[in-house]
A and B are shown apart, each in its own frame.
Chain A
Amino acid sequence: MAVLLLGFAFLYAPIGLLVLYSFNASRLVTVWAGFSTRWYGELARNEGFRAAALTSFEVATFAATIALVLGTLAGFSMSRFSRFRGRTIFGFALLAPLVVPEVILGLSLLLLFVSCENWIGWPSRGIPTITVAHAMFGACFVSVLVRAQLAGFDRALEEAALDLGARPSTVLVRITLPGISPALISGWLLAFTLSLDDLVVASFVTGPSATTLPMAVFSSVRLGVSPEVNALATLFLGLVFVLVALAFWLTAREERRRHTA
Protein backbone atom coordinates (compact mmCIF):
# COMPACT_ATOMS: atom_id res chain seq x y z
CA MET A 1 0.00 0.00 0.00
CA ALA A 2 1.16 3.49 -0.81
CA VAL A 3 0.62 4.63 2.77
CA LEU A 4 3.03 2.02 4.09
CA LEU A 5 5.68 2.82 1.51
CA LEU A 6 5.51 6.54 2.20
CA GLY A 7 5.47 5.97 5.94
CA PHE A 8 8.50 3.72 5.95
CA ALA A 9 10.30 5.96 3.49
CA PHE A 10 9.84 8.81 5.93
CA LEU A 11 11.06 6.72 8.85
CA TYR A 12 14.10 5.29 7.10
CA ALA A 13 15.24 8.02 4.71
CA PRO A 14 17.42 9.89 7.22
CA ILE A 15 18.99 6.67 8.43
CA GLY A 16 19.64 5.50 4.89
CA LEU A 17 21.24 8.79 3.99
CA LEU A 18 23.53 8.62 7.01
CA VAL A 19 24.70 5.17 6.04
CA LEU A 20 25.21 6.28 2.46
CA TYR A 21 27.28 9.30 3.36
CA SER A 22 29.41 7.42 5.83
CA PHE A 23 30.99 5.88 2.75
CA ASN A 24 31.37 9.21 0.98
CA ALA A 25 35.00 10.07 0.31
CA SER A 26 34.17 13.76 0.56
CA ARG A 27 33.61 15.53 3.87
CA LEU A 28 30.62 17.44 2.53
CA VAL A 29 27.26 15.77 2.46
CA THR A 30 26.36 17.39 -0.79
CA VAL A 31 29.29 16.26 -2.85
CA TRP A 32 29.65 12.60 -3.66
CA ALA A 33 33.33 11.97 -4.21
CA GLY A 34 33.34 8.25 -4.50
CA PHE A 35 33.18 5.25 -2.22
CA SER A 36 35.59 5.26 0.68
CA THR A 37 35.98 3.78 4.11
CA ARG A 38 38.35 6.46 5.30
CA TRP A 39 35.96 7.80 7.90
CA TYR A 40 35.79 4.39 9.56
CA GLY A 41 39.56 4.48 9.81
CA GLU A 42 39.47 7.97 11.31
CA LEU A 43 36.82 6.83 13.72
CA ALA A 44 38.90 3.88 14.86
CA ARG A 45 41.83 6.19 15.51
CA ASN A 46 39.69 8.60 17.51
CA GLU A 47 40.66 8.04 21.14
CA GLY A 48 37.82 10.08 22.51
CA PHE A 49 35.11 8.05 20.79
CA ARG A 50 36.83 4.77 21.65
CA ALA A 51 37.00 5.51 25.36
CA ALA A 52 33.43 6.78 25.33
CA ALA A 53 32.22 3.65 23.56
CA LEU A 54 33.90 1.44 26.14
CA THR A 55 32.35 3.42 28.98
CA SER A 56 28.93 3.20 27.37
CA PHE A 57 29.12 -0.55 26.87
CA GLU A 58 30.30 -1.10 30.40
CA VAL A 59 27.50 0.99 31.87
CA ALA A 60 24.88 -0.53 29.58
CA THR A 61 25.81 -4.11 30.44
CA PHE A 62 25.65 -3.57 34.18
CA ALA A 63 22.59 -1.36 34.04
CA ALA A 64 20.67 -3.79 31.83
CA THR A 65 21.44 -6.72 34.13
CA ILE A 66 20.37 -4.85 37.25
CA ALA A 67 17.31 -3.58 35.42
CA LEU A 68 16.39 -7.12 34.38
CA VAL A 69 16.51 -8.44 37.93
CA LEU A 70 14.62 -5.52 39.45
CA GLY A 71 12.13 -5.26 36.63
CA THR A 72 11.31 -8.95 36.77
CA LEU A 73 10.75 -8.75 40.53
CA ALA A 74 8.53 -5.72 40.02
CA GLY A 75 6.65 -7.38 37.16
CA PHE A 76 5.90 -10.41 39.31
CA SER A 77 4.82 -8.20 42.22
CA MET A 78 2.33 -6.22 40.18
CA SER A 79 1.09 -9.23 38.27
CA ARG A 80 0.70 -11.81 41.00
CA PHE A 81 -0.40 -9.70 43.95
CA SER A 82 -3.49 -7.69 43.23
CA ARG A 83 -3.57 -5.91 46.56
CA PHE A 84 -0.82 -4.80 48.84
CA ARG A 85 0.06 -1.71 50.77
CA GLY A 86 1.55 0.98 48.58
CA ARG A 87 0.53 -0.69 45.34
CA THR A 88 -0.73 2.58 43.88
CA ILE A 89 2.48 4.43 44.60
CA PHE A 90 4.52 1.48 43.40
CA GLY A 91 2.52 1.40 40.18
CA PHE A 92 3.02 5.11 39.71
CA ALA A 93 6.76 4.84 40.38
CA LEU A 94 6.95 2.05 37.80
CA LEU A 95 5.17 3.96 35.05
CA ALA A 96 6.11 7.59 35.63
CA PRO A 97 9.81 7.26 34.64
CA LEU A 98 8.66 5.93 31.28
CA VAL A 99 6.92 9.12 30.29
CA VAL A 100 8.48 11.82 32.44
CA PRO A 101 10.88 14.01 30.44
CA GLU A 102 14.48 12.92 30.83
CA VAL A 103 15.61 16.34 32.03
CA ILE A 104 13.49 15.83 35.12
CA LEU A 105 14.93 12.37 35.76
CA GLY A 106 18.45 13.65 35.25
CA LEU A 107 18.13 16.75 37.39
CA SER A 108 16.41 14.98 40.28
CA LEU A 109 18.94 12.16 40.34
CA LEU A 110 21.85 14.57 40.26
CA LEU A 111 20.41 16.49 43.19
CA LEU A 112 20.07 13.21 45.05
CA PHE A 113 23.69 12.27 44.39
CA VAL A 114 24.94 15.71 45.37
CA SER A 115 22.92 15.71 48.58
CA CYS A 116 24.18 12.25 49.37
CA GLU A 117 27.75 13.31 48.72
CA ASN A 118 27.38 16.23 51.10
CA TRP A 119 25.87 14.06 53.73
CA ILE A 120 28.07 10.99 53.79
CA GLY A 121 30.81 11.79 51.31
CA TRP A 122 29.75 9.19 48.73
CA PRO A 123 29.16 8.57 45.83
CA SER A 124 31.48 10.44 43.56
CA ARG A 125 29.71 10.88 40.28
CA GLY A 126 30.78 8.87 37.30
CA ILE A 127 30.22 5.38 36.01
CA PRO A 128 28.44 4.07 39.14
CA THR A 129 25.93 6.91 39.19
CA ILE A 130 25.18 6.61 35.48
CA THR A 131 24.69 2.87 35.92
CA VAL A 132 22.28 3.38 38.80
CA ALA A 133 20.30 5.96 36.85
CA HIS A 134 20.02 3.75 33.78
CA ALA A 135 19.09 0.73 35.88
CA MET A 136 16.29 2.77 37.41
CA PHE A 137 14.38 3.53 34.28
CA GLY A 138 15.51 0.29 32.63
CA ALA A 139 13.79 -1.62 35.40
CA CYS A 140 10.55 0.22 34.65
CA PHE A 141 10.66 -0.82 31.01
CA VAL A 142 11.45 -4.42 31.91
CA SER A 143 8.58 -4.51 34.40
CA VAL A 144 6.13 -3.51 31.67
CA LEU A 145 7.32 -6.30 29.41
CA VAL A 146 7.32 -8.89 32.17
CA ARG A 147 3.83 -7.91 33.28
CA ALA A 148 2.51 -8.24 29.77
CA GLN A 149 4.13 -11.63 29.35
CA LEU A 150 2.88 -12.89 32.71
CA ALA A 151 -0.63 -11.77 31.83
CA GLY A 152 -0.64 -14.23 28.95
CA PHE A 153 1.06 -17.01 30.85
CA ASP A 154 -1.00 -20.10 31.56
CA ARG A 155 -0.84 -20.70 35.29
CA ALA A 156 -2.32 -24.15 34.85
CA LEU A 157 1.20 -25.24 33.88
CA GLU A 158 2.47 -24.13 37.28
CA GLU A 159 -0.39 -25.81 39.09
CA ALA A 160 0.13 -29.03 37.14
CA ALA A 161 3.78 -29.07 38.10
CA LEU A 162 2.93 -28.50 41.75
CA ASP A 163 0.35 -31.29 41.61
CA LEU A 164 3.02 -33.57 40.24
CA GLY A 165 5.13 -32.88 43.31
CA ALA A 166 7.51 -30.16 42.20
CA ARG A 167 8.73 -27.68 44.79
CA PRO A 168 7.77 -24.03 44.24
CA SER A 169 11.36 -23.09 43.54
CA THR A 170 11.58 -25.78 40.89
CA VAL A 171 8.36 -24.54 39.34
CA LEU A 172 9.78 -21.05 39.17
CA VAL A 173 13.07 -22.03 37.62
CA ARG A 174 11.90 -24.71 35.22
CA ILE A 175 8.40 -23.59 34.26
CA THR A 176 7.70 -19.91 34.93
CA LEU A 177 10.98 -18.26 34.03
CA PRO A 178 11.46 -20.18 30.77
CA GLY A 179 7.83 -19.40 30.02
CA ILE A 180 8.43 -15.68 30.19
CA SER A 181 11.87 -15.83 28.59
CA PRO A 182 10.82 -13.73 25.56
CA ALA A 183 10.10 -10.85 27.94
CA LEU A 184 13.37 -11.45 29.79
CA ILE A 185 15.46 -11.47 26.63
CA SER A 186 13.80 -8.46 25.01
CA GLY A 187 13.76 -6.71 28.39
CA TRP A 188 17.51 -7.00 28.79
CA LEU A 189 18.11 -5.87 25.24
CA LEU A 190 15.73 -2.96 25.60
CA ALA A 191 17.39 -1.80 28.82
CA PHE A 192 20.79 -2.22 27.15
CA THR A 193 19.82 -0.18 24.12
CA LEU A 194 18.19 2.55 26.17
CA SER A 195 21.30 2.84 28.31
CA LEU A 196 23.58 3.00 25.26
CA ASP A 197 21.41 5.67 23.73
CA ASP A 198 20.82 7.89 26.74
CA LEU A 199 22.19 11.40 26.55
CA VAL A 200 20.27 13.65 28.89
CA VAL A 201 20.26 11.63 32.11
CA ALA A 202 23.90 10.63 31.67
CA SER A 203 24.91 14.26 31.13
CA PHE A 204 23.31 15.29 34.39
CA VAL A 205 24.63 12.52 36.64
CA THR A 206 28.08 12.00 35.23
CA GLY A 207 31.36 13.05 36.78
CA PRO A 208 34.54 14.54 35.36
CA SER A 209 36.03 11.27 34.22
CA ALA A 210 33.12 9.49 32.61
CA THR A 211 32.01 10.36 29.09
CA THR A 212 29.47 8.15 27.40
CA LEU A 213 29.21 7.68 23.68
CA PRO A 214 26.08 9.82 23.24
CA MET A 215 27.78 12.62 25.15
CA ALA A 216 30.79 12.43 22.84
CA VAL A 217 28.57 12.38 19.78
CA PHE A 218 26.51 15.29 21.08
CA SER A 219 29.48 17.60 21.62
CA SER A 220 30.80 16.65 18.21
CA VAL A 221 27.46 17.18 16.53
CA ARG A 222 26.83 20.59 18.07
CA LEU A 223 29.69 21.85 15.96
CA GLY A 224 28.05 20.63 12.78
CA VAL A 225 27.91 17.60 10.55
CA SER A 226 30.87 15.32 11.03
CA PRO A 227 31.75 12.35 8.81
CA GLU A 228 33.18 10.31 11.69
CA VAL A 229 29.79 10.54 13.34
CA ASN A 230 28.21 9.19 10.15
CA ALA A 231 30.52 6.21 10.32
CA LEU A 232 29.77 5.75 14.01
CA ALA A 233 26.07 5.98 13.32
CA THR A 234 26.26 3.31 10.65
CA LEU A 235 28.21 0.96 12.93
CA PHE A 236 25.72 1.58 15.69
CA LEU A 237 22.79 0.89 13.40
CA GLY A 238 24.40 -2.34 12.30
CA LEU A 239 24.95 -3.40 15.89
CA VAL A 240 21.38 -2.61 16.91
CA PHE A 241 20.01 -4.38 13.86
CA VAL A 242 21.96 -7.51 14.78
CA LEU A 243 20.87 -7.34 18.42
CA VAL A 244 17.21 -6.79 17.63
CA ALA A 245 17.18 -9.49 14.96
CA LEU A 246 18.81 -11.79 17.51
CA ALA A 247 16.13 -10.93 20.05
CA PHE A 248 13.40 -11.63 17.53
CA TRP A 249 14.97 -14.91 16.50
CA LEU A 250 15.44 -16.06 20.09
CA THR A 251 11.90 -15.04 20.99
CA ALA A 252 10.42 -16.83 17.99
CA ARG A 253 12.42 -19.94 18.80
CA GLU A 254 11.14 -19.94 22.39
CA GLU A 255 7.57 -19.54 21.18
CA ARG A 256 7.94 -22.44 18.79
CA ARG A 257 9.51 -24.60 21.45
CA ARG A 258 6.72 -23.82 23.86
CA HIS A 259 4.02 -24.69 21.39
CA THR A 260 5.51 -27.97 20.32
CA ALA A 261 6.51 -29.18 23.79
Chain B
Amino acid sequence: MIGIGRFGRMLLIGVPFFWLALFFLLPLWIVVKISLAESVIGIPPYTPLVTHGVSGLKFHATLANFALLVHDQLYLRAYFGSLGNAAVATVLCLLLGYPIAYAIARTRGRRRQVLLFLVMLPFWTSFLIRVYAWIAILAPNGILNELLTGLGLISEPLPLLNNQFSVELGLVYSYLPFMILPVYGSLSALDESLLEAAADLGARPVPVFFEVILPLTVPGIAAGSLLVLIPAIGEFVIPDLLGGPDTLMIGKVLWDEFFNNRDWPVASAVTVVLVAVLAIPILFAQRFLERGRIA
Protein backbone atom coordinates (compact mmCIF):
# COMPACT_ATOMS: atom_id res chain seq x y z
CA MET B 1 0.00 0.00 0.00
CA ILE B 2 1.38 3.35 -1.02
CA GLY B 3 2.19 6.12 1.33
CA ILE B 4 1.67 4.21 4.52
CA GLY B 5 5.29 3.99 5.57
CA ARG B 6 6.88 1.40 7.78
CA PHE B 7 5.28 2.65 10.93
CA GLY B 8 1.88 2.74 9.30
CA ARG B 9 2.34 -0.79 8.09
CA MET B 10 3.29 -1.94 11.57
CA LEU B 11 0.13 -0.39 12.96
CA LEU B 12 -2.06 -1.81 10.23
CA ILE B 13 -0.89 -5.33 10.84
CA GLY B 14 -0.09 -4.94 14.50
CA VAL B 15 -3.38 -3.67 15.90
CA PRO B 16 -5.59 -6.58 14.80
CA PHE B 17 -2.74 -9.02 15.39
CA PHE B 18 -2.35 -7.80 18.96
CA TRP B 19 -6.09 -8.04 19.52
CA LEU B 20 -6.25 -11.61 18.26
CA ALA B 21 -3.09 -12.64 20.08
CA LEU B 22 -4.51 -11.27 23.32
CA PHE B 23 -8.05 -12.60 22.98
CA PHE B 24 -7.61 -15.81 21.05
CA LEU B 25 -4.06 -17.16 21.26
CA LEU B 26 -3.32 -16.16 24.85
CA PRO B 27 -6.57 -17.67 26.17
CA LEU B 28 -5.72 -20.96 24.47
CA TRP B 29 -2.33 -20.90 26.16
CA ILE B 30 -3.99 -20.30 29.52
CA VAL B 31 -6.27 -23.28 28.91
CA VAL B 32 -3.20 -25.45 28.43
CA LYS B 33 -1.71 -24.08 31.64
CA ILE B 34 -4.84 -24.78 33.68
CA SER B 35 -5.27 -28.25 32.25
CA LEU B 36 -2.09 -29.08 34.10
CA ALA B 37 -3.43 -27.76 37.41
CA GLU B 38 -5.43 -29.31 40.19
CA SER B 39 -8.94 -28.45 41.13
CA VAL B 40 -9.40 -26.73 44.49
CA ILE B 41 -12.23 -25.11 46.37
CA GLY B 42 -11.66 -21.41 46.10
CA ILE B 43 -11.24 -18.55 43.74
CA PRO B 44 -9.81 -19.30 41.32
CA PRO B 45 -10.75 -22.98 41.55
CA TYR B 46 -7.40 -24.32 40.49
CA THR B 47 -3.84 -24.44 41.73
CA PRO B 48 -1.31 -21.98 40.32
CA LEU B 49 1.35 -23.31 38.01
CA VAL B 50 4.26 -21.56 39.65
CA THR B 51 4.61 -20.60 43.28
CA HIS B 52 7.26 -18.72 45.19
CA GLY B 53 8.41 -20.83 48.07
CA VAL B 54 11.24 -20.65 50.54
CA SER B 55 13.39 -22.72 48.23
CA GLY B 56 12.62 -20.64 45.17
CA LEU B 57 10.22 -21.24 42.28
CA LYS B 58 8.23 -24.43 42.33
CA PHE B 59 6.27 -25.87 39.47
CA HIS B 60 2.99 -27.58 40.07
CA ALA B 61 1.96 -29.50 37.06
CA THR B 62 0.00 -32.67 36.89
CA LEU B 63 -1.25 -34.85 34.15
CA ALA B 64 -3.96 -36.23 36.39
CA ASN B 65 -6.67 -34.50 34.40
CA PHE B 66 -5.54 -36.07 31.17
CA ALA B 67 -5.30 -39.46 32.88
CA LEU B 68 -8.90 -39.02 33.96
CA LEU B 69 -9.93 -38.42 30.37
CA VAL B 70 -8.41 -41.68 29.29
CA HIS B 71 -9.72 -43.77 32.17
CA ASP B 72 -13.22 -42.42 32.52
CA GLN B 73 -15.48 -44.00 29.93
CA LEU B 74 -17.63 -40.89 29.75
CA TYR B 75 -15.06 -38.76 27.95
CA LEU B 76 -13.98 -41.34 25.43
CA ARG B 77 -17.58 -42.06 24.55
CA ALA B 78 -18.27 -38.35 24.26
CA TYR B 79 -15.34 -37.75 21.92
CA PHE B 80 -16.25 -40.63 19.69
CA GLY B 81 -19.93 -39.78 19.91
CA SER B 82 -19.20 -36.25 18.75
CA LEU B 83 -17.00 -37.43 15.90
CA GLY B 84 -19.65 -39.90 14.85
CA ASN B 85 -22.54 -37.47 14.99
CA ALA B 86 -20.60 -34.78 13.20
CA ALA B 87 -19.46 -37.17 10.49
CA VAL B 88 -22.99 -38.44 9.86
CA ALA B 89 -24.29 -34.87 9.80
CA THR B 90 -21.60 -33.89 7.30
CA VAL B 91 -22.50 -36.72 4.96
CA LEU B 92 -26.21 -35.94 5.20
CA CYS B 93 -25.56 -32.26 4.59
CA LEU B 94 -23.60 -33.21 1.50
CA LEU B 95 -26.34 -35.51 0.20
CA LEU B 96 -29.01 -32.88 0.77
CA GLY B 97 -26.99 -29.80 0.03
CA TYR B 98 -25.33 -30.82 -3.22
CA PRO B 99 -28.60 -31.19 -5.16
CA ILE B 100 -29.84 -27.87 -3.80
CA ALA B 101 -26.58 -26.13 -4.76
CA TYR B 102 -26.75 -27.77 -8.17
CA ALA B 103 -30.31 -26.59 -8.71
CA ILE B 104 -29.40 -23.04 -7.73
CA ALA B 105 -26.35 -23.05 -10.01
CA ARG B 106 -28.62 -23.98 -12.90
CA THR B 107 -30.82 -20.90 -12.50
CA ARG B 108 -29.91 -17.66 -14.12
CA GLY B 109 -29.67 -14.00 -13.25
CA ARG B 110 -31.93 -12.38 -10.66
CA ARG B 111 -33.50 -15.66 -9.58
CA ARG B 112 -30.14 -17.00 -8.58
CA GLN B 113 -29.45 -14.00 -6.32
CA VAL B 114 -32.84 -14.36 -4.70
CA LEU B 115 -32.31 -18.07 -4.10
CA LEU B 116 -28.90 -17.49 -2.53
CA PHE B 117 -30.44 -14.84 -0.31
CA LEU B 118 -33.12 -17.32 0.77
CA VAL B 119 -30.47 -19.93 1.56
CA MET B 120 -28.50 -17.47 3.66
CA LEU B 121 -31.46 -15.96 5.49
CA PRO B 122 -31.99 -18.82 7.98
CA PHE B 123 -28.32 -18.56 8.87
CA TRP B 124 -28.83 -14.93 9.80
CA THR B 125 -31.81 -15.65 12.02
CA SER B 126 -31.28 -16.88 15.52
CA PHE B 127 -29.67 -20.29 15.70
CA LEU B 128 -31.15 -20.89 19.10
CA ILE B 129 -34.67 -20.10 17.91
CA ARG B 130 -34.42 -22.40 14.91
CA VAL B 131 -33.29 -25.31 17.09
CA TYR B 132 -36.04 -24.51 19.57
CA ALA B 133 -38.59 -24.64 16.75
CA TRP B 134 -37.80 -28.31 16.25
CA ILE B 135 -38.75 -29.05 19.86
CA ALA B 136 -42.25 -27.85 19.14
CA ILE B 137 -42.39 -30.00 16.02
CA LEU B 138 -40.85 -33.24 17.31
CA ALA B 139 -42.28 -33.42 20.82
CA PRO B 140 -44.62 -36.33 21.69
CA ASN B 141 -47.47 -33.84 21.77
CA GLY B 142 -45.88 -31.76 19.07
CA ILE B 143 -47.02 -30.74 15.64
CA LEU B 144 -45.67 -33.69 13.68
CA ASN B 145 -47.00 -36.38 16.00
CA GLU B 146 -50.39 -34.70 16.24
CA LEU B 147 -50.53 -34.49 12.46
CA LEU B 148 -49.70 -38.16 11.99
CA THR B 149 -52.16 -39.21 14.69
CA GLY B 150 -54.84 -37.02 13.25
CA LEU B 151 -54.33 -38.56 9.83
CA GLY B 152 -54.71 -41.96 11.41
CA LEU B 153 -51.24 -43.09 10.36
CA ILE B 154 -50.04 -43.87 13.87
CA SER B 155 -51.82 -44.73 17.10
CA GLU B 156 -49.07 -43.72 19.50
CA PRO B 157 -46.69 -40.77 19.33
CA LEU B 158 -43.34 -41.54 17.73
CA PRO B 159 -40.27 -40.92 19.87
CA LEU B 160 -38.82 -38.20 17.71
CA LEU B 161 -37.25 -36.00 20.33
CA ASN B 162 -34.40 -36.34 22.83
CA ASN B 163 -32.57 -39.00 20.90
CA GLN B 164 -30.00 -39.50 18.17
CA PHE B 165 -32.56 -38.78 15.46
CA SER B 166 -33.43 -35.31 16.72
CA VAL B 167 -29.76 -34.45 17.30
CA GLU B 168 -28.80 -35.45 13.77
CA LEU B 169 -31.79 -33.61 12.37
CA GLY B 170 -30.84 -30.51 14.34
CA LEU B 171 -27.23 -30.69 13.17
CA VAL B 172 -28.16 -31.12 9.51
CA TYR B 173 -30.78 -28.40 9.69
CA SER B 174 -28.42 -25.88 11.26
CA TYR B 175 -25.36 -26.57 9.14
CA LEU B 176 -26.94 -27.13 5.74
CA PRO B 177 -26.31 -23.55 4.49
CA PHE B 178 -22.60 -24.01 5.32
CA MET B 179 -22.50 -26.89 2.85
CA ILE B 180 -24.66 -25.36 0.16
CA LEU B 181 -22.69 -22.14 -0.29
CA PRO B 182 -19.18 -23.55 -0.90
CA VAL B 183 -20.54 -26.28 -3.16
CA TYR B 184 -22.51 -23.66 -5.06
CA GLY B 185 -19.30 -21.61 -5.32
CA SER B 186 -17.52 -24.51 -6.97
CA LEU B 187 -20.43 -25.29 -9.26
CA SER B 188 -20.88 -21.72 -10.42
CA ALA B 189 -17.18 -21.52 -11.31
CA LEU B 190 -17.45 -24.51 -13.61
CA ASP B 191 -16.41 -23.93 -17.15
CA GLU B 192 -19.48 -24.74 -19.22
CA SER B 193 -17.39 -25.47 -22.27
CA LEU B 194 -16.07 -28.57 -20.50
CA LEU B 195 -19.59 -29.90 -20.20
CA GLU B 196 -20.28 -29.12 -23.80
CA ALA B 197 -17.11 -30.89 -24.84
CA ALA B 198 -18.10 -33.97 -22.91
CA ALA B 199 -21.51 -33.96 -24.53
CA ASP B 200 -19.96 -33.47 -27.96
CA LEU B 201 -17.78 -36.48 -27.33
CA GLY B 202 -20.90 -38.54 -26.77
CA ALA B 203 -21.13 -38.74 -23.00
CA ARG B 204 -24.56 -39.22 -21.40
CA PRO B 205 -25.65 -36.94 -18.50
CA VAL B 206 -24.93 -39.39 -15.66
CA PRO B 207 -21.31 -40.12 -16.64
CA VAL B 208 -20.84 -36.41 -17.30
CA PHE B 209 -21.84 -35.73 -13.73
CA PHE B 210 -19.67 -38.35 -12.12
CA GLU B 211 -16.64 -37.94 -14.30
CA VAL B 212 -16.61 -34.22 -15.07
CA ILE B 213 -18.73 -32.21 -12.67
CA LEU B 214 -18.14 -34.05 -9.41
CA PRO B 215 -14.33 -34.10 -9.60
CA LEU B 216 -14.24 -30.40 -10.45
CA THR B 217 -16.39 -29.53 -7.45
CA VAL B 218 -14.23 -31.41 -4.95
CA PRO B 219 -12.82 -28.11 -3.54
CA GLY B 220 -16.33 -26.93 -2.74
CA ILE B 221 -17.25 -30.27 -1.22
CA ALA B 222 -14.10 -30.25 0.89
CA ALA B 223 -14.67 -26.70 2.09
CA GLY B 224 -18.30 -27.37 2.92
CA SER B 225 -17.45 -30.58 4.73
CA LEU B 226 -14.87 -28.85 6.91
CA LEU B 227 -17.25 -25.97 7.65
CA VAL B 228 -19.80 -28.50 8.89
CA LEU B 229 -17.57 -31.08 10.55
CA ILE B 230 -15.35 -28.91 12.72
CA PRO B 231 -17.98 -26.81 14.50
CA ALA B 232 -20.38 -29.75 14.70
CA ILE B 233 -17.93 -31.81 16.73
CA GLY B 234 -17.96 -29.23 19.52
CA GLU B 235 -21.63 -28.32 19.24
CA PHE B 236 -23.41 -27.66 22.54
CA VAL B 237 -26.86 -26.18 21.96
CA ILE B 238 -28.21 -28.94 19.74
CA PRO B 239 -27.31 -31.88 21.99
CA ASP B 240 -28.53 -29.96 25.02
CA LEU B 241 -31.94 -28.98 23.65
CA LEU B 242 -32.63 -31.88 21.30
CA GLY B 243 -30.57 -34.66 22.82
CA GLY B 244 -31.40 -37.22 25.43
CA PRO B 245 -29.62 -39.07 28.21
CA ASP B 246 -27.85 -41.31 25.73
CA THR B 247 -26.58 -38.41 23.64
CA LEU B 248 -22.98 -37.83 24.57
CA MET B 249 -21.29 -34.99 22.79
CA ILE B 250 -18.10 -33.37 23.92
CA GLY B 251 -19.40 -29.80 23.79
CA LYS B 252 -22.10 -30.67 26.27
CA VAL B 253 -19.64 -32.59 28.47
CA LEU B 254 -17.36 -29.57 28.50
CA TRP B 255 -20.20 -27.27 29.53
CA ASP B 256 -21.40 -29.63 32.26
CA GLU B 257 -17.88 -30.13 33.56
CA PHE B 258 -17.43 -26.42 33.77
CA PHE B 259 -20.77 -25.12 35.01
CA ASN B 260 -22.18 -28.06 36.94
CA ASN B 261 -19.08 -29.76 38.34
CA ARG B 262 -17.05 -26.59 38.61
CA ASP B 263 -14.00 -28.59 37.63
CA TRP B 264 -12.02 -26.09 35.60
CA PRO B 265 -8.83 -28.17 35.21
CA VAL B 266 -10.71 -31.13 33.78
CA ALA B 267 -12.74 -28.86 31.50
CA SER B 268 -9.45 -27.37 30.32
CA ALA B 269 -8.00 -30.80 29.69
CA VAL B 270 -11.11 -31.72 27.68
CA THR B 271 -10.59 -28.52 25.67
CA VAL B 272 -6.91 -29.23 25.01
CA VAL B 273 -7.69 -32.68 23.68
CA LEU B 274 -10.56 -31.31 21.61
CA VAL B 275 -8.33 -28.63 20.07
CA ALA B 276 -5.70 -31.28 19.36
CA VAL B 277 -8.32 -33.44 17.66
CA LEU B 278 -9.54 -30.49 15.61
CA ALA B 279 -6.11 -29.11 14.79
CA ILE B 280 -5.64 -31.44 11.86
CA PRO B 281 -8.81 -30.49 9.97
CA ILE B 282 -8.31 -26.81 10.84
CA LEU B 283 -4.76 -26.70 9.48
CA PHE B 284 -6.00 -28.62 6.48
CA ALA B 285 -8.71 -26.02 5.98
CA GLN B 286 -6.25 -23.16 6.30
CA ARG B 287 -3.81 -24.62 3.76
CA PHE B 288 -6.72 -25.30 1.49
CA LEU B 289 -8.16 -21.77 1.75
CA GLU B 290 -4.78 -20.16 1.20
CA ARG B 291 -4.24 -22.23 -1.89
CA GLY B 292 -7.66 -21.87 -3.42
CA ARG B 293 -8.25 -18.33 -2.18
CA ILE B 294 -11.90 -19.11 -1.73
CA ALA B 295 -12.31 -16.70 1.19
Contact = CB atoms under 8 A, between A and B. Distances in A.
Interface of A: 1, 3-4, 7-8, 10-15, 17-18, 21, 28-30, 70-71, 73-74, 76-77, 80-81, 84, 86, 89-97, 99-105, 107-109, 111-112, 114-115, 118, 132-133, 135-136, 139-140, 143-144, 147-148, 151, 158, 162, 167-169, 171, 190, 193, 196-197, 199-200, 204, 214, 217-218, 221-222, 224-225, 229, 232-233, 236-237, 240-241, 243-244, 248
Contact of B143 (A30, A73, A143): A30
20 contacts: A1-B103, A3-B100, A3-B102, A18-B133, A29-B139, A73-B16, A90-B17, A101-B251, A103-B236, A103-B251, A107-B267, A112-B27, A114-B44, A136-B19, A158-B2, A171-B2, A171-B3, A197-B126, A241-B121, A244-B117
Contacts of A10: 96, 173, 176
B125 A99 contact: no
A166 to B, nearest CB: 10
Given A29-B136, A104-B274, A133 B23 contact: yes
B20 A139 contact: yes
| B99, B125, B241: most-surrounded residue (chain A CB, <10 A) | B125
Q: Which 3 A-B pairs have the closest CB atoms?
A: A101-B234, A168-B3, A108-B27
B208 interface: no
Given A18-B132, A93-B17, A225-B135, 19 more contacts: A4-B115, A17-B143, A29-B142, A81-B9, A90-B13, A101-B234, A101-B235, A108-B271, A111-B268, A114-B44, A115-B30, A147-B295, A162-B2, A168-B3, A197-B126, A200-B237, A225-B139, A236-B126, A244-B117
B158 interface: no
Given A99-B227, A100-B275, A151-B293, A107 B286 contact: no
A117 to B, nearest CB: 9
B141 interface: yes
B255 interface: yes
Interface string B146-179: 1000000000000000000000000001001100
Contact of B100 (A7, A91, A118): A7
B121 A95 contact: no
B205 interface: no
A15 B100 contact: no
Interface string B222-242: 000011001101111100110
Contacts of B275: 100, 104
A96 B27 contact: no
A61 B271 CA distance: 30
Nearest to A101: B234
Contacts of A240: 121, 124-126
B176 A11 contact: yes
Contacts of A101: 230-231, 233-236, 251, 274, 278
| B21, B30, B127: most-surrounded residue (chain A CB, <10 A) | B30
A126 to B, nearest CB: 16
Contacts of B68: none
A18 B231 contact: no
Contacts of B236: 101-103, 200
Contacts of A229: 129, 132
A236 to B, nearest CB: 6
B16 A143 contact: yes
Contacts of A70: 15-16, 19
Contacts of B258: 107, 204
Interface in B241-295: 241, 251, 254-255, 258, 264, 267-268, 271, 274-275, 278, 282-283, 285-286, 289-290, 293, 295
Interface in B102-126: 102-104, 106, 115, 117-122, 124-126
A118 B286 contact: no
B264 A111 contact: yes
A244 B113 CA distance: 13
A136 B251 contact: no
| A96, A103, A104, A217: most-surrounded residue (chain B CB, <10 A) | A103
Interface of B: 1-4, 9, 12-13, 15-17, 19-21, 23-28, 30-31, 34, 44, 96, 99-100, 102-104, 106, 115, 117-122, 124-130, 132-137, 139, 141-143, 146, 173, 176-177, 226-227, 230-231, 233-237, 240-241, 251, 254-255, 258, 264, 267-268, 271, 274-275, 278, 282-283, 285-286, 289-290, 293, 295
Contacts of B233: 101
| A3, A84, A232: most-surrounded residue (chain B CB, <10 A) | A3
B234 A221 contact: no
B16 A71 contact: yes
A101 B171 CA distance: 13
Contact of A17 (B124, B136, B230): B136
A111 B143 contact: no
Contacts of A99: 226-227, 230-231, 278, 282, 285
A161 to B, nearest CB: 10
